[in-house]
Structure 1
Amino acid sequence: MDLNTVAEVRDARTHSGWLPGDAWLGGGTYLFSEPQPHLRRLIDLSRTGWTPLKWLPGGDLEIAATCTIAQLVRFTGRTLFTQCCHAFLASFKIWNMATVGGNLCNSLPAGPMISLTAALDGSCLLWSPTGEQRRLPVAEFVTGAGENALREGELLRSITLPAAALARRTAFRQASLYGLGRSGVLVIGTHDVDGSLQLTVTASTTRPILVRFPLPPGGAELATAIDAAVPDNAWFDDIHGLPEWRKHMTLRLAEEIRNELT
């Protein structure tokens, strides 16, 4: 879609300050999908030269915000990464343009990169227009449906996944009302060598919900903990599923994951 209110596209390496009506441009799969009448200028990140993915000392994985879905799949080959990438239900054209950072910044409940990075205890590195930096866990970065912790002009630079989380066993469950529909429920479980279990609930809730157990819980304990962790107003409600259905399926899939991992 043409953005006929945009008067200028600037290279992110040389742009001189943040102005009202500016927007960071990564892959553009969302920006160009619908009208953006409030935008006047795009700050293009495509020439920043950030390494899409790299291993850090100690085994942590750094994912640049500009890393595409296709690059993520090719680099890791890990089952959970592939499962989350396929949760897009998108064509290869989208895979080669859509970015991990863009998915987080859109902050939609069904964003599978939110599911992936939250489940693996990812942290976001944020850059302000004045050069200041701060870090937030992914589970705190996304604050609601289409809402996040970004301040005016702030940029998501990268997401780091700790080595300890990458070493865990994982289980993935997804449900949709339609065969090729948007995720209505997405639950990821991770099981650590110390016996602890973590469940990450997304798509059915307005923001990522993490539920941790020091030891594998029983079925009743699991259901009680999820019920306590998710406020009634946090179950998402749209054409892709009623809150009651989302809650029912979350509990059902969480129990399947508990059985698989323990």
Structure 2
Amino acid sequence: MDLNTVAEVCDARTYRSWRPGDAWLGGGTYLFSEPQPHLRRLVDLSRTGWTPLQWLPGGALEIASTCTIAQLFRYTRRSLFAQCCHAFLASFKIWNMATVGGNLCNSLPAGPMISLTAALDGICLLHSLTGAQRRLPVTEFVTGAGENVLREGELLRSITLPAAALDRRTAFRQASLYGLGRSGVLVIGTRDRDGSLQLTVTASTTRPIRLCFPRPTDRVEFAAALERAVPDDAWFDDIHGLPEWRKHMTLRLAEEIRTELL
């Protein structure tokens, strides 16, 4: 879709001053998908030259916000990464343009990159135009449906996945009202070598919900903990699923994950 209100496109490498009507441009799959009448200028990140993925000392994985879904899929080939990439249910054109950072910054409940990075203890690195930086977990970055902690002019630079999280066993479950529909429920479980289990709930909730169980737990205790962790108003409600259905499926899939990992 043409954005006929945009009068200028700037190079992010030389951009210094944020003003009303500005927007960061990564892959553009969201920006160009619908009218954006409030926009006047786009700040293009495509020439920043950020390495899409790189292993850090100690075995952590740093994912640049400009890393595309296709690059993530080709580079890692890990089961959980592939499962979350396929959760997009998107064409190859979207895979080659949509970015990991864009998925997080849109902060939609069904965003599978939110699911992936939240489940693997992802840490967001945020940059401001003043040069200030701050870091916070993905679970704190997304605060609601389409909402996050980004301040005016602030940029998501990268997401780092710690080595310990990458070494965990994983289990993945997803549900939709339609065969090829948007995720209505997406639940990921991980288990450490010490036996502790982590559960991450997305898509069915307005923000990522993460629970940690340091010891094996039974079905009743597990379900009770999950129900306590999700406030009634946190179950998402839209055309892709009623809150009651999302809650029921979340509890069901979470139990499947508990059984598989324990």
What's the TM-score once normalised by structure 1's chain length?
Answer: 1.00
Once residues 89 and 96 of structure 1 are traced to their aligned partners in structure 2, the CA distance between those partners, rounded to angstroms, is 13
Q: Cα deviations across residues 150-208 of structure 1 (Å, max 9, x unaligned)?
A: 00000000000000000000000000000000000000000000110000000000000
Q: Cα deviations across residues 107-149 of structure 1 (Å, max 9, x unaligned)?
A: 0000000000000000000001111000010000000000000
1:6 matched to 2:1? The reply is no
Q: Secondary structure at the match of 1:32?
A: helix
Please state how far the C-alpha of 1:30 moved relative to its aligned partner. Answer: 0.1
Once residues 217 and 190 of structure 2 are traced to their aligned partners in structure 1, the CA distance between those partners, rounded to angstroms, is 13
Q: Cα deviations across residues 23-72 of structure 1 (Å, max 9, x unaligned)?
A: 00000000000001111000000000000000000000000000000000
Corresponding residue for residue 205 of structure 2: 205
Corresponding residue for residue 181 of structure 2: 181
Please state how far the C-alpha of 1:217 moved relative to its aligned partner. Answer: 1.3
Q: Give the conservation status (yes or no) of the 8 Å contact 2:16–2:129.
A: no
Corresponding residue for residue 257 of structure 2: 257
Q: Which amino acid aligns with 2:111?
A: G
Q: Which amino acid aligns with 1:106?
A: N
Q: Cα deviations across residues 213-262 of structure 1 (Å, max 9, x unaligned)?
A: 00121100111001000000000000000000000000000000001000
Q: Cα deviations across residues 71-105 of structure 1 (Å, max 9, x unaligned)?
A: 00000010000000000000000000000000000
* Structure 1 consecutive aligned stretches of length 4 or more whose deviation exceeds 2 Å: none
List aligned pairs for 1:16-95, cutoff 5 A: 16-95=16-95
Please state how far the C-alpha of 1:10 moved relative to its aligned partner. Answer: 0.3
Aligned CA RMSD, in angstroms, stands at: 0.4
Once residues 196 and 15 of structure 1 are traced to their aligned partners in structure 2, the CA distance between those partners, rounded to angstroms, is 45
Once residues 14 and 58 of structure 1 are traced to their aligned partners in structure 2, the CA distance between those partners, rounded to angstroms, is 33
Once residues 33 and 61 of structure 2 are traced to their aligned partners in structure 1, the CA distance between those partners, rounded to angstroms, is 30
Residues paired across the two proteins, number: 262
Q: Secondary structure at the match of 1:94?
A: helix
Gaps of 5+ in 1: none
List aligned pairs for 1:126-205, cutoff 5 A: 126-205=126-205
Corresponding residue for residue 15 of structure 2: 15
Once residues 175 and 216 of structure 1 are traced to their aligned partners in structure 2, the CA distance between those partners, rounded to angstroms, is 25
**Identical counterparts, % of pairs:** 85
What's the TM-score once normalised by structure 2's chain length?
Answer: 1.00
Corresponding residue for residue 228 of structure 2: 228
Once residues 135 and 62 of structure 1 are traced to their aligned partners in structure 2, the CA distance between those partners, rounded to angstroms, is 13
Once residues 111 and 146 of structure 2 are traced to their aligned partners in structure 1, the CA distance between those partners, rounded to angstroms, is 10
Corresponding residue for residue 238 of structure 1: 238
Once residues 138 and 42 of structure 1 are traced to their aligned partners in structure 2, the CA distance between those partners, rounded to angstroms, is 25
